[in-house]
Chain A
Amino acid sequence: MFLITKVDENNPLRFMSINKWTTALSILLIVASLATLAINKLNWGLDFTGGTLVEVGFSQPANLSELREVLEANDYGDAVVQNYGTQRDVLVRVPPRGEANAESIGDSLLRILQTNVDENLQIRRVEFVGPQVGEELAEAGGLALIVAVICILIYVSFRFEWRLALSAVAGLVQDVILILGIFSLFQMQVDLTILAALLATIGYSLNDSIVVADRIRENFRIMRKETPVSVIDISLSQTLSRTLVTSLTTLMVLVVLMLFGGQMIFGFAVAMSIGVLVGTYSSIFTRSTIVLALGISREDLMPPEVEKEGEDQEPVL
């Protein structure tokens, strides 16, 4: 349990005193993520590569190597076979082939498994994505991320000051890079639900940074004597318990989703959990560091003064 303590304005938690270290950490993590993205690439799922996927439930626990042999003998040597969830559930993936009847590969896989392995197998899922559609989905996905970031940049600069907006968006970019880095490192599959998780993370992490930015703006306006560093420290301290409580409740439901939500939602929950952790880190450290580096000051955040008509003109009399 957190204890509620009054934030002592003379002695807040000095978050910014370690910002050299957190900056170094951020740079390290980003470089590492980019490196693994460059070397290991991402394990793109069916949605983006195209191809065929069949998920079946056998009545007995499945012998994967036997399944592979059967498929190989039937001209599907390129199929990837793996357990999915339980011992009896098996997922077969076939990469896209340049054939005319690509849409019937799923049916032929099922027929092969039915005749050679288990007559009573249960069809759980069949997915076929044509290469054209896969490309379009990938394009639309990338576009969605970029459009989301731009829309948010516009909205936040309109509502806040450009330094706060830029730092908020920089944090988002860091979040996305780190999540993708982890996905690349562990070769977890990136499909449409991961895209949804990325966008949801953007929304979530922004939520966090807006709450902080709001408080920074408010404190700059009322604290006339504090330096920018201590204003930011005070703001972060004041919002810390809210940041942690919300992250905790969100993580709680995400862990529940991981445990009970089934296979289809597992990747989503993992991506989003990473997103919540990374987002919390970036809204406390990364964004504040960037705001300071951009040289924010009290004047930048004062409400615009209303100009009176003719004020800038010399009095006539």
Chain B
Amino acid sequence: MLNKFPLWKNLLVLFVVLFGALYALPNLYGEDHAVQISATRGGEVTMDTVAQVERTLQSAGIQTRGLTYESGQILVRLESDDDQLAARELLVSELGQQFVVALNLAPATPSWLAAIGGEPLKLGLDLRGGVHFLMEVDMEEALSKMRDSMLDSVRDRLRENRVRYTGVNADGNNIVVNLRSAEDYQRALGELRNQFEGYETRTDSSNNSITLVMTDQFLQETRANAIDQNITILRNRVDELGVAEPLIQRQGQDRIVVELPGVQDTARAKEILGATATLEFRFVDTDNDLQDAIAGRVPFGSRLFNVRGGGQQLLENRVILTGDHIVNASVGYDESNRPQVNITLDSAGGRLMTQATRGNVGRPMATVFIEFLATGETTEDGRIAFERIEEVVSVATIQAVLGSNFRITGVGSIQDAQNLALLLRAGALIAPIQIVEERTVGPSLGAENVRAGMTAIMAGFILVLIFMGIYYRKFGLVANIALLTNLVLIVGVMSMIPGATLTMPGMAGILLTVGMAVDANVIIFERIREELLAGRSPQQAISRGYENAFSTIADANITTLITALILFAVGTGSIKGFAVTLAIGIVTSMFTAIVGTRAIVNLAWGRQKRLTKLSI
């Protein structure tokens, strides 16, 4: 008999290997030092900015390797890390506060490779250096604010309508109303039933009690809002830090992961991330002329404010209300189905709002969003100096005397409404956050890890290659080709998958798959030896060796795959990296060790009719 693969199988092997090699290729080109320029708070990167950047660098005599303008960002590649630092310094002072200039390493992948989605491996924080924060949102705080405000609203409503109650109390997230008589109970029911968004009414007429139950959907919404609010705040803060590729992501029920590659000063990062935003409602000064004020004649008792997106507004100095009274802000629709923002205040806030709006119906009211921005300087006592930035985010006309619940209509598109609601919640800081886990790796340790990992992989690889070559002779060489191909495939697949990052345990995983990938070949080769010793012809031995070994190898690898998947499910960060490389390595090694080596063996020996001996 002869051992031959059909043409399609040979082509398949060739195709897979070339495909893997193609996507592994970008890793050979390395990275350029670069600075990345993006816009923040109302700024916009335009062709003018591009020209300005080019001019600035040229006049300072800094050579660039290229400048690209894509999706609102400018990326300038530079010759060295010295140039990179100099360029950043220069651009920060030149472009000013409306732009963020971040240091970055840009892959030097040739454009034809980048065009087909080729990019180098993404390195985990333990190899790149950087900060990983896990933050927990204080949901209890958010829910308790919501509960207190609800208690107030229910009491207010009963009092306004002269319904006497014996008690309005909280039971978990629910509100229990107890009443004296059946008559009061009926009247209260009329006032409370279906009056509160997100609550269902449950009644117990025998005890004259009504329970307002928070719906699961509302609870989920509240949680999601609290997370979104914090993610928005964190995004703005991270922009300030000037980090090139930050990751801010929800994790589980109430946690947020923040990863900042390249950041080393964690104290500074924490202070900036923790800075608060707030909110103020003020009346627009309609008695004086805005243009006059802009021209310099600002009337007494009023002040000019910048409007987000451009322009100015003249607002009264008196603050009606601050953001800490806001309990919730959500998007809804008005009678004619236009988006609106619903705002819920706590009872103190509701009273302030009622006082302020009584007699001011018809006047415009502005919402001012206030953030504290790090200036990059430190104060005398070593703390970071913050600058207060105020921006008008909405102006609306008061239609009636307002209480704890009111709405802002005419806010534009649904997108605008959502943004405004988010800002209102962010300014309110409904749910505070706390750091529950931090992992920082300095750049020197990161670089050291990369070096150590590479050395280990090379050394381990060479040892295994030598051993296989000696122990299985020519078949050992075939296995070695498969091993090398396997490495290329692992790198190629990992570069291709967007979410896969290489970590230090991941590098250990690669080396481990090298040790274990030879197992498949060992099983096959031992089987071939046995068949030879049992007196079969070389061609038969090859064929039977591969056939008999297949199910064993598959079973053995599937169980390892199971453990890798479990590790991926429970692991965090760098352990996930290990699980990913292990899983990828198992799949690719099965391919190279079974199909790949068979193709080579068939080509080398499978066509020889008078084969009497195998070099195994």
A residues apposed to B, CB below 8 Å: 1, 4, 6-7, 55, 57, 103-104, 106-107, 110, 122-130, 132-133, 137, 140-141, 143-144, 147-148, 151-152, 155-156, 159, 192-193, 195-196, 199-200, 202-204, 206-207, 210-211, 214-215, 218, 238-239, 241-242, 245-246, 248-254, 256-257, 259-262, 264-265, 268-269, 272
Contact = CB atoms under 8 A, between A and B. Distances in A.
Contacts of B434: 103
Contacts of A148: 562-563, 566
A214 to B, nearest CB: 4
B192 to A, nearest CB: 38
B448 A262 contact: yes
Contacts of A252: 460, 463-464, 467, 515
A128 B560 CA distance: 32
Contact of A211 (B136, B442, B533, B552): B552
A148 B456 CA distance: 29
Interface stretch (B49-57, B167-175, B412-420, B518-526): B518-526
Nearest to A127: B439
Interface in B499-515: 504-505, 507-508, 511-512, 514-515
Nearest to B562: A151
A contact patch SS: helix
A245 B436 CA distance: 46
Interface residues of B, number: 72
Contacts of B453: 261-262, 265
- With a 10 A CB-CB cut-off, give which of B438, B533, B578 has the most chain A CB atoms: B438
A246 B518 contact: yes
B468 to A, nearest CB: 8
Given A133-B437, A155-B559, A262-B453, A140 B570 contact: yes
B484 interface: no
Contacts of B515: 249-254
8 contacts: A103-B434, A107-B266, A132-B136, A196-B578, A204-B516, A249-B515, A257-B456, A262-B449
Which 5 A/B pairs are nearest by Cβ-Cβ distance? A203-B560, A262-B452, A130-B436, A253-B460, A250-B515
B455 A260 contact: yes
A223 to B, nearest CB: 14
Nearest to A110: B267
A144 B576 CA distance: 13
Nearest to A250: B515
B378 to A, nearest CB: 14
A156 B563 CA distance: 13
A257 B511 contact: yes
A192 to B, nearest CB: 5
A106 B448 CA distance: 22
B452 A245 contact: no
Interface of B: 126, 134, 136, 264, 266-267, 270, 434-442, 444-445, 448-449, 452-453, 455-456, 459-460, 463-464, 467-468, 470-471, 504-505, 507-508, 511-512, 514-516, 518-519, 522-523, 526, 529-530, 533, 548, 551-552, 555-560, 562-564, 566-567, 569-572, 574-575, 578-579, 582
B512 A193 contact: no
B230 to A, nearest CB: 16
Nearest to B503: A264
A214 B445 contact: no
Given A107-B267, A211-B552, A272-B512, A137 B460 contact: no
B505 A268 contact: yes
A59 to B, nearest CB: 12
A202 B434 CA distance: 37
A214 B551 contact: yes
Nearest to B526: A242
